[in-house]
Amino acid sequence: MKFFQKPSPGEEDRVPPGQHLAKGFPVLTYGEIPQVNMDTWEFRVWGCATAKTLSWDDFMALPQQEFTADFHCVTRWSKLDVKWTGIKITDLMKLIEVEPQAAYVMEHCYGGYTTNISLEDFVREENFFAVKLFGEPLPEKHGGPMRLIVPHLYAWKSAKWINGLEFLEEDEPGFWERNGYHNRGEPWAQERYSSL
Ligand SMILES: Nc1nc2c(c(=O)[nH]1)N[C@H]1C(S)=C(S)[C@@H](COP(=O)(O)O)O[C@H]1N2
Ligand SMILES: [Mo]
């Protein structure tokens, strides 16, 4: 059985060092898929001047667009040109006023997974909340109903079943960051593990 695919010409320079192209779209979840009830789904924003709770309808009222992004898991598989539909972080951020001291964000999820990211890596034009994958509602195993996608960092920063953002002045490690993974996780620099 072949689990990896050779990059076609022109793709080689899009595969970061130490990564292989996966066949299909593998699923990587720590623990069980959490139960997410759409009737009670909510998204909390706190640690900012404008703490708020958004309902699914509030979120879906934001503009949606299509995205094509490469996906790199630290376990050494990558998938190029994944097609998503979703909401740009910068569009959500128009509703949020962060304190000038805020420099980090903790991503919170149904099921308790967390991952930390700097505000600078978080608020970028290419980052988005995905609600569709290849034109279909985002499958539960890939983080449906909604996940974050941060294409320029390893995919553990792309929180599935996301349900909250906590703005922080001081950085705090999330789940994998407390368990030996790199604080930032930039794939081209192979920021895989923490040196501590
Ligand atoms: N809530 C949550 N988000 C998560 C994870 C997880 O275990 N729980 N795994 C991360 C890791 S390590 C990767 S590689 C991607 C995998 O996304 P996929 O299962 O859609 O391929 O999700 C990330 N987001
Ligand atoms: Mo991963």
Q: How far apart are CA 54 and CA 91, in angstroms?
A: 14
**Ligand 1 mutation target, pool 19, 28, 138, 161, most atoms within 8 A of CB:** 28
Q: How far is the CA of 194 from the centre of ligand 2 (A)?
A: 15
Tens-place pLDDT, residues 118-147: 999 999 999 999 999 999 999 999 999 999
What global pTM score does this model have?
A: 0.97
pLDDT at 196: 61
pLDDT at 76: 97
**Ligand 1 mutation target, pool 21, 29, 140, most atoms within 8 A of CB:** 29
In CATH, what number does 37-189 get? 3.90.420.10
Closest ligand 1 atom to the C-alpha of 25? 21
Closest ligand 1 atom to the C-alpha of 75? 14
pLDDT at 1: 59
Nearest ligand to residue 29 Cα: 1
* Distances, alpha carbon 9 to alpha carbons 4, 6, 125, 190, in Å: 16, 9, 28, 23
Sorting pLDDT into bands at 50, 70 and 90, what band is 99?
very high
Q: How far is CA 164 from the centre of its chain?
A: 12
Domain ranges of the chain: 37-189
Closest ligand 1 atom to the C-alpha of 161? 1
Tens-place pLDDT, residues 32-48: 999 999 999 999 999 99
155 ligand 1 Cβ < 6 A? yes
Phi, psi dihedral angles at 151 (to 5 degrees): -60, -30
